[in-house]
Structure 1
């Protein structure tokens, strides 16, 4: 029996997050963030988890992390926090508050669930003569 989606609920993301804005986000928007996160996990693992009766805990954790990142980044993009300072002839600009998905270490968390078999695509490697 395949596990039904969504794999996590908005309350799971709200109880995990330490960001006040994410915990105050509406359930409808968090449901959308969770759906995007699940699709990201499916893409990373090349695994739809159809053969599982229950979603594995590391996968649930990854979905919560990615959903939180999507929610936080959406909130921050609405605020457009860009800080710019100039001192004499030196200036810098910093965009603060966004979460990079690369910083979440998803590959390590999902390593046991990544399917390396192809999905029907042909890969061609060419070399110069």
Structure 2
């Protein structure tokens, strides 16, 4: 169980073309306001964690292939309650490999969930 200063933290490691980005996500009330992260100018990744009072209602993960005018959704994963938060960061997702585009470029990601010690 968390102490008064801890909140859930979702940490995703997203890799493309030999570079890994770490995306940390905390609770958000409006999932449409969650930031979209550029991954190497080819992909976009968005992690959403909605909840209150240290309890997670749901987590959604989105991956997009960037286009000239629009980003194209290539992956969406949903995790619903009950979602248990561990004392230490533990894997929430498997290690995912996504392929998209004319030459099937590869995006990899894995997300971990734990308590954010503030």
Could you tell me the TM-score, scaled by structure 1's length? 0.27
Q: Which structure has the larger Rg?
A: 1
Task: Determine which structure has the larger strand proportion and give its number.
Answer: 2
Task: Determine which structure has the larger helix proportion and give its number.
Answer: 1
